[in-house]
Amino acid sequence: MAGRGRAPARPPAPPRSGSRGPGGPRPGEPERRQRWLIVVAVLVLTVFVGRLVQVQVFMGPALAADAQQKRLQTNVQVAHRGDIVDVNGNVLATSVDRYTIVGDQLAIQSFRGASRVDKATGDPVEDGALGVAQLLGPVLDEEPAALAAKLNGKDRYVVLARDVVPEVQRAIADLGLQAYVRTDLTSQRTYPAGEVAGPLVGFVNDDLGGQGGLERAYDDLLAGTDGTTTFERGRDGVMIPNAPVETVPAKPGSDVRLTVDRDVQWKAEELLDEAVSDTGAKYAMAVVSDVRTGEVLALADSGHVDPNDRSTADVANGSRAVKDVFEPGSTGKVVTMAAALEGGYWKPQSQFEVPYTYTTPNGQTFKDSHGHPVQRLTLAGVLAHSSNTGTVQIGEKIPEQVRYDYLRKFGFGEPSGLGLPGESAGILPDEESFAHDPRTPYTILFGQGVAVNAIQATQVFSTVANGGVRVEPSLFAGSQAPDGTFTPAPEPERTRVVSTETADSLMRMLESVVGDEGTAENARVPGYRVAGKTGTAQMWLPGGGTTYMASFIGVAPADDPRYTVSVFLRSPQSSIFGGVVAAPVFSDLMGYTLQKMDVPPSTTEPDPYDLEW
């Protein structure tokens, strides 16, 4: 066997096609391959079924609700705001229907105007925003090119015009653009009386919310509740036919009836404007109120304030008659006289020697407005001559706490009850500082050291004229619901301040002020007995300094009191004395009011007290 070797080994044969790798089916095993395919298919199917269950079962309600929400549109129906009317039903504020024109930019992109013709030019209407603008521009009195610029975009709510009158709204509806342009009903507040009672009535904002004066004070009654209409719409913005519609009707507001008489208010404002022009005063105010009921017939300011024109009228400031405060001055002496008589400290015929200057035991010196020799005056004479030094002598016998208490009883230092926005409660020192101040307990006797607004000053005289009973003043006569039901205002609060005997004595004393020897002959009203008091009061200015408030407050007929009228002029240039500049205005306004209300003339003569001894 020499020379013979072992034959070389053969190389391994390559694997056959279709042989399985690790874990796969082996060649010739189709059953195993089918099982793998089934497993994969089941896994894929399980994923799809799981996702389907998740979407339809778990997420389905939420997705459906979200889709429906996107289709829903809610339109608001603005509630009709109630009217404000005077005591006779004359409208001072009302609401009229207006429309807001709204464009849907997204829907406008699908507008096709090929079948339409521009009536102005005869040209075919373009597609999209330009075509809508061609039709809508002439109705809104706007250039189509400028309007088209507003209509381009993807915003679904673009305001094109506000406060559109119904005639224009109907013209827009006739264009057949409802799928692209909406006309939403709104409301606009108007004031038919214009400047009459402008500061008192106030104004509303763009959403018809009361922002000043009576509009704000009675906003809850006037406003009503807006309604809504909710519906489903398609991509073109049009309501889907037969789809559910949910409607909540609007509830109109109630009308508010005032105690104000439009004619008396107008006359008061006219007279005040004339007085400002004649005297050079910065401004003037007047109040007319019913002695028996506390109802205010006029709360007037000088100047021209028209709430229809908020761009130029200063309507936001409200009435100065409740906002501005000033020292009552000599009109405040009525409170001192009431305390002196009611407490039995003095009688109307009590006698005083009244010098030009007078010094109290604690060293406080006071003087009258005019120099004069020593006068021999009764208590009634001190009031008629408006003597500061005589009033201080009268007050010395009245305990300091009693002096303070009577200011409170007559309503100083607290809101009047009218409820107007921005009303000041006035200024009254607190009891502790009052008790430790050596001068103020004397200055308050003649109307200094305290501050009141015009309503508070007027109510002092109304209280005296009403037999000593203070009646809370009111501007609100009641409200009328949309169904016509009228709800009168609650009865005003009544508080006895002084006795009937004291009030009657004070009325006799106040008549002497308007008599031949008093300071207010200019306040007389032909045919009627008048009782009242002049005032020249200081008014503190913001930032320092003072000016004067000249006034006259009076009652007529004095023998059967019906109305109190007060007139105030700030910073008059012709004279600072109320008997000169305010009393003539009082005479005209009181005379007009008495005639307007058919009050019969006085049938008796005055019975004045002696003024001197």
* Secondary structure (H, E, C), 182-217: EEEEEEEEECCCCCCCHHHHCCECCCCCECCHHHHH
Residue 9 has pLDDT above 60, yes or no: no
Find the range with the poorest average confidence among 96-100, 228-232, 251-255, 498-502.
228-232
Q: How confident is the model at residue 218, as a pLDDT?
A: 95
Query: Is the Cα dihedral 85, 259, 425, 447 positive or negative?
Result: positive
Question: How far is it, in rounded angstroms, from Cα 366 to Cα 390?
Answer: 10
Q: List C-alpha distances in Å: 251 to 147, 416, 479, 515.
A: 35, 33, 15, 58
* Cα–Cα distances in angstroms (integers) from residue 558 to residues 299, 336, 524, 555, 561, in the given order: 22, 20, 11, 6, 5
Phi, psi of 592 (to 5 degrees): -65, -45
Rounded to an integer, the average pLDDT of 518-538 is 92
Task: For 163, list phi and psi in degrees, rounded to 5.
Answer: 55, 45
Work out the burial of residue 37: count CB atoms within 10 Å of its CB; fewer than 13 is exposed, 13-18 middle, 19 or more buried.
exposed
Q: What is the mean pLDDT of residues 582-606?
A: 97
Q: Write out pLDDT tens, residues 413-465.
A: 999 999 999 899 999 999 888 888 999 999 999 999 999 999 999 999 999 99
Contact call for residues 248 and 227 (beta carbons, < 8 A): yes
CB atoms within 10 A of CB 193: 20
pLDDT at residue 70 in the model:
65
Taking Cα atoms as reference points, which of 556, 547, 608, 565 lies closest to residue 331? Answer: 565
* Cα–Cα distances in angstroms (integers) from residue 233 to residues 62, 100, 153, 181, in the given order: 19, 20, 20, 14
pLDDT at 34: 83
Which of 3.40.710.10, 3.30.1300.10, 3.40.50.11890, 3.60.20.10 would CATH assign to domain 262-303+326-476+498-596? 3.40.710.10
- What mean pLDDT is predicted for residues 532-547? 85
Q: 373 versus 232: which is more confidently predicted?
A: 373
Q: Output the DSSP codes for 390-429.
A: HHHHHHHTS-HHHHHHHHHHTTTTS--S---TT----B--
Q: Dump pLDDT digits (tens) for 341-358.
A: 999 999 999 999 999 999
Interval 192-250: pLDDT, tens: 999 999 999 998 887 788 888 999 999 999 998 888 878 776 665 566 777 778 888 88
Q: Tens digits of per-residue pLDDT, 557-577?
A: 999 999 999 999 999 999 999
**131 membership: H or E segment, kind and range:** helix 128-140
Say whether pLDDT at 278 is over 60.
yes
Residue 266 is classified by DSSP as: H
How would residue 371 be classed by pLDDT, with cut points 50, 70 and 90?
A: very high
Domain ranges of the chain: 75-109+129-258, 262-303+326-476+498-596
Q: Residue 528 phi/psi, 5° resolution?
A: -130, 140
Cβ distance 300 to 285 under 8 Å?
A: yes
Instruction: Give the model's pLDDT for residue 49.
Output: 78
Cα(297)–Cα(261) distance, rounded to whole angstroms?
A: 5
Which pLDDT belongs to residue 2? 47
Q: 313 pLDDT exceeds 60?
A: no
Tens of pLDDT, residue by residue over 477-527, are 999 999 999 999 999 999 999 999 999 999 999 999 998 887 889 999 999
Residue 117 per-residue DSSP state: B
Query: Residue 533 has which token pair?
Result: 């008091």
Which of the two residues, 31 and 322, has the higher pLDDT score? 322
Task: Tell me the helix, strand and coil percentages in the chain, rounded to 5.
Answer: 35, 25, 45
Q: Is the pLDDT of residue 608 over 70?
A: yes
* Structure token digits, residue 223: 């406003």
The one-letter amino acid code at 196 reads V
Average pLDDT, the chain: 89
DSSP lists the bridge partners of residue 554 as 532, 565
Helix (H) or strand (E) holding 158: strand 158-164
Nearest residue to 213 (alpha-carbon basis) of 104, 62, 320, 290: 320
Would you state the pLDDT for residue 187? 84
> Which segment of 76-80, 166-170, 179-183, 608-612 scores lowest on mean pLDDT?
76-80
Confidence of residue 305 (pLDDT cuts 50, 70, 90): confident
pLDDT above 70 (res 55): no
pLDDT given for residue 519 in this prediction: 80
Sign of CA dihedral 453, 439, 348, 514: negative
Is the pLDDT confidence value at 18 over 80? no
Rounded mean pLDDT, 574-588:
96
Residue range 56-66: average pLDDT? 64
Share of the chain above pLDDT 90, in %: 67
- Which of the four pLDDT bands, split at 50, 70 and 90, describes residue 304? confident
* Superfamily of chain region 75-109+129-258: Penicillin-binding protein 2a (Domain 2) (3.90.1310.10)
Kindly give the residue spans of alpha helices, DSSP state H, lying in 255-378: 262-279, 320-323, 333-342
Q: What is the pLDDT of residues 398-415, one digit of tens each?
A: 999 999 999 999 999 999
Whole-prediction pTM value? 0.81
Which residue shows structure tokens 């501007």? 475
* CA distance linking residue 272 with residue 278, whole number of Å: 10
Please report the pLDDT score of residue 13 as a whole number: 57
> Catalytic positions, please?
330
Summarize the confidence of residues 309-313 as an average pLDDT: 67
* SS3 label, residue 306: coil
CA distance linking residue 367 with residue 441, whole number of Å: 16
The whole-number pLDDT of residue 1 equals 46
Does the structure show a pLDDT above 50 at 115?
yes
